[in-house]
Structure 1
Amino acid sequence: MAGIGPLTQDWEPVVIRKKAPTAAAKKDEKAVNAARRMGADIDTIKKFNAATNKAASSSTSLNTKKLDDETENLTHERVPTELKKNIMQARMNKKLTQGQLAQMINEKPQIIQEYESGKAIPNQQIIVKLERALGVKLRGKK
């Protein structure tokens, strides 16, 4: 390793400081004081909620009040009782388990169970698949 000199590193600390407050704010204050001394008529405005998040929170309280006043009960549409019974009856007539029916329509067994218990949100595509697999009209007139 001839020809390479000793490697040196600079271990001096580097200090990074925030800038001091700008002189503009001080100048404004000085200009106002100077104008007052000269007898000029000066209007100063106090900014309320400056650099706070209070304005945003007051609008949410209004929204919360609207929600509290709301009386409509919003829920998802559920499988009608008639459809639940039709699915169960058609499956039993074909002597199929929920798992076998689910496999026939390429869905999870849990979906068939949810439809038969009435917990599922009705999906027309799944209902059509069930009608084809069971060979029965599940909705409307038989």
Structure 2
Amino acid sequence: MLGKERSPVTEPRDKNKEKGEGKKIASRRSLLLRGVEKKWRPPRNGQRARISSTWLPRTQLHHQRVPLEVGKVIQKGRQDKGLTQKDLATKINEKPQIIAEYESGKVIPNNQVMGKIERAITTLP
């Protein structure tokens, strides 16, 4: 030890700089300053792919719902017969929620259910 000089104490190396992270961060900063956005990459586990709004069609796509007028006719026919939504539902073997959805116009029409309701609320002469 007499012949060797001790090296001066050096600062510990930054782990990020060892892996080249400093250069990556600097390049990202320069890209952001120039206004270049990050490239798209496929989603990893637990992530969802994001679709740009420009890929979506311009027209609104939606299912045909029961018109409100039909709901009013169902409600009037049911009340004329003195039935509640629950009574009508048990009469046609459906859930009461189905009758409420048909009367409010929030459901996609089903011809079978519409036929059952029609037979239940119409009176034959």
TM-score normalised according to structure 2 size: 0.55
Runs of 4+ in 1 over 4 A off after TM superposition: none
Q: Distance in 1 between matches of 2:109 and 2:55?
A: 30
In the TM superposition, what is the alpha-carbon distance from 1:91 to its structure 2 partner? 0.2
Question: Is 1:100 the counterpart of 2:109 in the alignment?
Answer: no
Counterpart residue number, 2:55: 66
Identity, in percent, stands at 49
TM-score normalised according to structure 1 size: 0.49
Counterpart residue number, 2:66: 79
Question: Is 1:90 the counterpart of 2:77 in the alignment?
Answer: yes
Q: Distance in 1 between matches of 2:89 and 2:118?
A: 12
Structure 1 gaps of 5+ residues are: 1-53, 137-142
In the TM superposition, what is the alpha-carbon distance from 1:124 to its structure 2 partner? 0.8
In the TM superposition, what is the alpha-carbon distance from 1:89 to its structure 2 partner? 0.5
Report which structure shows greater RCO (CA 8 Å, sep ≥6): 2
Q: Of the candidates 115, 118, 122, which is equivalent to residue 128 of structure 1? A: 115
Give the greater-gyration-radius structure (CA): 1
How many residues get paired?
78
In the TM superposition, what is the alpha-carbon distance from 1:101 to its structure 2 partner? 0.1
Aligned-CA RMSD value: 2.2
